[in-house]
Amino acid sequence: MKNRTLFINKILVVSSVLLYSYTATAQKAKADIKPNIIIFYADDLGWQDTELNNLDEPSPWETPNLTKLAKEGLNFTNAYSPAPTCAPSRSALLSGLHPVKTGITHVSGGGMPESSGGSSYVTPFFPSGLMPENFTIAEALKANGYTTGHVGKWHAGNLKIQSSSNQGFDFSFESRGAHQGPKKPDNRLTNFATHDKNDAYRLSDEKYPPFTKASPNGISYPTDEVTEKALEFITKSKNKPFFLYLAQWLVHAPIHTKNKELLQYYSDKLGIDFPTKDIPITTEGQTNPFYGSMVTSLDWSLGRVVDLLKETDDPRNPGKKLYETTYIIFTSDNGGTERANGDLVTDNYPLDEGKKHAQEGGIRVPMVVVGPNIPKGKTYDGLVNQLDYFPTLLSLTHSKIPTQYGTNLDGLDITGVLLDNEKTIKNNDGTPREDLWWHFPHNQDETMQSAIRSGDYKLYKNLIKGDYELYRLYKDGKRADLEEKFDIAKKEPEVVQDLAARLEKHLKDYDAKYPYKNPVKFKKEGDVVSIPVVVGDTFDAKSGKVSITLEKGKSKIIETYALVKITDVVEVKNNGKKTKLGKHSSTYIKVPVNTVKDNLEYTFNVPKDAAEYGVILIDENRFMVKSEFHKVK
């Protein structure tokens, strides 16, 4: 099968990695010491959910460990995720490729393109996650002598060939840990952890902040297997340079906590009664005590990791602790979730909107970096994207990767900012970075947007209407319209023209896909009668070749591709003797088609292990037409 062949080829390429060189090199890191790397990746943690970037009213959620970490490193106030949702951001961080380049622009990909939420438009097809041809930061560091570990959330593909173990990780643990939701008939008020030794989430004997009148020495936290596995990986891997991708499930929905004492603390702090019924929290602002407990639990997990590093000798660097030889990046995969399952979760104000939106509340994230030679207690206000991590970590670790991967990365090396106190992040040609851009053709019509941030300005392209909105977030370095209330597109047409041209160039260069019209929703539109019609559909089982023929006289086809379903089947041992088919997962993958004659006949080959196939056609009026999908017998 093609993807498995690509996986084998990738292994062969990586094995010859030392023949090639990535051009960027660290400027101050010692060449004879490979630093350890930890990316602590929070889930749905908003820019205003910590004590780092408090604007207007301070956040009530306490994050003492993150605050302390920021005092020991750099706090990035204008840090962004690559996308406003989970899967595209994670895939982009791991691969160093923009979501438009990987094609992974939203969560739950690999399905049939459909209209959603009452929209008249079909969102473009996007894959479920990374495929073997994608080259990850874990593979890069592993090829350069690192032990690699992934703990926590993956969400970059469910197939076996998309798993973290097939993307460069030596060790992987993907449980939810203490974030595991209550199982019926339990609910979030009957599922608290206890000190019972048989409790899977047994409360710790050690005490940690916050300190209360009832518990002046701190409170106990539930056992979190995600955190424990991260600590275990560090302890077992310390004899070699290690890379840990710690992707916490916190603070993603469901909004709940197993820490009753912490929930009581936040109820008291907010001046509300301790919840007695498991009903949604619907008070506005940052007033959900369950969510506050989750944020502080996330901070506790970070503190456990940092404490271990500070207490543990580095066997490779006598006289130093692991903390002194480790770079830690703390950030979140996207902005905060403001609503989930009936709960009002958090409030990203003054940032507009939240997760699933290209507005500031959906993509602006907290970010702190600490490590060898990084200045302490400083802030950096320039534009930073998580796409920058891949080239930066290559530089900090003096790692070499195949040229075809190094030149394809979409982020920039920010070691000049980290180590040399440089004021600007530079493009590969030495010019200052000017902008960042996003593309999110999903959800409701009004949220289908592309966006570009450049200096003080943020421009949006509304993908359905095709018009632009312009906001000035800052003026002369000071906050102006951070709330994005005032569209000034008509007042500043020259700025619109400039930023629109840049954004359109990015979209064109990356072949961005846009929403398509659903013929069912446009029955009254005259162009519907001319949409393509499939009149021939044949499959040669021996060769795997499919031929599709269209009716003459219909609208011109401007884009076509095949979707083929592939499936992983898990073999399960039955009493140690027999093997039977167990749970399986499947996904559609995109397969190119060949135009045979006058845009009326198309052919493609179905991979040997495919379970289903069909063709997607886009006509000149942007209608999406699907052929009949057939199961492969």
Tell me: pLDDT of 603 over 50: yes
> Can you tell me the mean pLDDT for 591-602?
90
DSSP line for 556-620: PEEEEEEEEEEEEEEEEEETTTEEEEEEEEEEEEEE--EEEETTTEEEEE--TT-SEEEEEEEET
Tell me: pLDDT of 124 over 50: yes
DSSP state of 500: H
> Can you tell me the mean pLDDT for 204-227?
92
Residue/partner pairs of 497-503 with CB below 8 Å, 24 or more apart: 499/435, 499/452, 499/454, 499/457, 499/459, 499/470, 500/459, 500/461, 500/468, 502/435, 502/437, 502/452, 502/454, 503/437, 503/450, 503/451, 503/452, 503/459, 503/461
Token digits for 391?
């080239």
| pLDDT above 90 coverage of the chain, percent | 84
Token digits for 140?
């890069």
pLDDT of residue 526: 83
pLDDT of residue 116: 80
Tell me: pLDDT of 10 over 70: no
> Can you tell me the mean pLDDT for 313-317?
97
pLDDT of residue 575: 53
Q: Summarize pLDDT for 219-240 with one digit per residue, the tens.
A: 999 999 999 999 999 999 999 9
- pLDDT bin (cut points 50, 70, 90) of residue 596 is confident
pLDDT of residue 572: 58
Burial-class residue 575 by CB neighbours within 10 Å (0-12, 13-18, 19+).
Answer: exposed
Max CA distance (Å), the chain: 80
| pLDDT above 70 coverage of the chain, percent | 92
Q: Summarize pLDDT for 263-314 with one digit per residue, the tens.
A: 999 999 999 999 999 999 999 999 999 999 999 999 999 999 999 999 999 9
Contact in structure between 413 and 391 (CB atoms under 8 Å): yes
Rounded to the nearest 10 degrees, the angle between the axes of helix 225-237 and helix 289-311 is 10
What is the spatial distance between Cα 211 and Cα 289, in angstroms, rounded to a whole number? 16
Asked if residue 350 has a cis previous peptide bond (ω within 30° of 0), the answer is yes
pLDDT of residue 602: 95
Q: Summarize pLDDT for 374-404 with one digit per residue, the tens.
A: 999 999 999 999 999 999 999 999 999 999 9
pLDDT of residue 2: 39
Residue with token string 């197993």: 258
CA torsion through residues 9, 10, 15, 16, sign: positive
Can you give the C-alpha Rg of the chain in angstroms?
Answer: 25
Run of H or E residues at 132: none
Contact in structure between 201 and 178 (CB atoms under 8 Å): yes
What is the spatial distance between Cα 36 and Cα 438, in angstroms, rounded to a whole number? 31
Q: Summarize pLDDT for 132-152 with one digit per residue, the tens.
A: 999 999 999 999 999 999 999
Tell me: pLDDT of 533 over 50: yes
3-state secondary structure of 154: coil
Beta-carbon contacts of residue 406 (< 8 Å; ≥ 6 apart): 20, 21, 22, 23, 391, 394
What is the spatial distance between Cα 369 and Cα 175, in angstroms, rounded to a whole number? 26
Tell me: pLDDT of 576 over 90: no
pLDDT of residue 378: 96
Contact in structure between 171 and 273 (CB atoms under 8 Å): no
Token digits for 443?
């959800």
Residues in the chain: 633
What is the spatial distance between Cα 501 and Cα 507, in angstroms, rounded to a whole number? 10
- pTM, rounded to two decimals: 0.93
pLDDT of residue 19: 37
What is the spatial distance between Cα 4 and Cα 414, in angstroms, rounded to a whole number? 34
Q: b vs e for 122-143, b when ≥16 Cβ sit within 10 Å of the residue's Cβ?
A: bbbbbbbbbbbebbbbbbbbbb
pLDDT of residue 290: 98
C-beta neighbour count of 628 within 10 angstroms: 9
Tell me: pLDDT of 520 over 80: yes
- pLDDT bin (cut points 50, 70, 90) of residue 4 is very low
C-beta neighbour count of 316 within 10 angstroms: 15
All domains of the chain, ordered by start, with CATH? Answer: 2-114+122-420 (3.40.720.10), 435-509 (3.30.1120), 525-631 (2.60.40.10)
Question: How, if at all, do strands 36-42 and 326-332 pair?
Answer: parallel
Tell me: pLDDT of 30 over 50: no
Least confident of 189-203, 228-242, 586-600: 586-600
Mean pLDDT of the chain: 92
Name the nearest CA neighbour of 326 among 94, 73, 42. 73
- pLDDT bin (cut points 50, 70, 90) of residue 212 is confident
